[in-house]
Amino acid sequence: MENISDWLLNTIREDEKRGVMSGWIEEKRFLLLPHMARIIGHILQGGSVIVLTDSAREWFGDYVTAHINQPHKGRPFFPIVQIKHLNDMIDSNTKEGGMQGFQLIGDMLNMMCPNYRFWYIGKKNARADFARYQGEGWYWIFDENIHSAENFLSSTDEKLDYKLISLFKVFERAIIASMLNKISLEI
C-alpha cells in the first residue's frame, strides 16, 4: 500500500505526462497533504463535509457537489454536500448577531449532522470566519499568506479556476484510492 504523499507525487507526475498542468500541485503538496489526509480520514470514519464558499466561488461549490456523487460512477456516494441557504444565514447573522449568530447556526448544524467538517473555498470573510469558528476543517483561504497551509491560492491568479478544479479532481481520486485501500493516509 502506497502512502498518500508518494501517491500524490506519482499522480501529479503521471498527469503531467498526459498534458495535464498539475506541476504546481507538486510545489504545494506538503501544504496540502496534512489537511487532505485529515479530511479524507474524517470521511472514511463516517464524517460528513459541508462545502462553503465565498460568493465569487459559489460556482465551485456547485461544481464539487454536482460532480462528487454522480450515479454513473459506480461507487458509494461520499458525504460531501453544500447547503445553499447556509450562505444567506451566515451573511445575515453576521450583520445582526456576530459570534452569537455563529453559535446558533452551529447548534442547528450539530442537530442536523453531528459529525461534520467544513471545506471552505474563497477569500477571508464572514463565511470563512464561521467555518473556522466551527473547528477542524479544510480551508482554502485566498490571498492572506500564500505560503501557509490554508492560504496557498491567490484570487488574482489567472489560472485559479483551473487550479480549483484540478485540486478537486485529485482530492476525489485520493478519496477513492483510500476507500479501496490502495493508499494509506500516513504522510
On the question of pLDDT at 114 being above 60, the answer is yes
pLDDT of residue 99: 66
Tens digit of pLDDT for each residue in 156-170? 989 999 999 999 999
pLDDT of residue 74: 86
Q: Three-state SS for 147?
A: coil
Regarding the domain with residue range 45-180, which homologous superfamily does it belong to in the CATH classification?
DNA replication regulator HobA (3.40.50.11670)
Rg of the chain over all Cα atoms, to the nearest angstrom: 16
> What is the average per-residue pLDDT within 131-147?
82
Tens digit of pLDDT for each residue in 8-27? 999 988 887 776 777 788 88
pLDDT of residue 148: 56
pLDDT of residue 56: 94
Residue 19 burial by CB count (10 A; 0-12/13-18/19+): exposed, middle or buried? exposed
pLDDT of residue 169: 93
Q: Partners of 119 in the beta sheet?
A: 51, 138
Hey, where are the domains in the chain? 45-180
Tens digit of pLDDT for each residue in 29-51? 888 899 999 999 999 999 999 99
> What is the average per-residue pLDDT within 164-180?
94
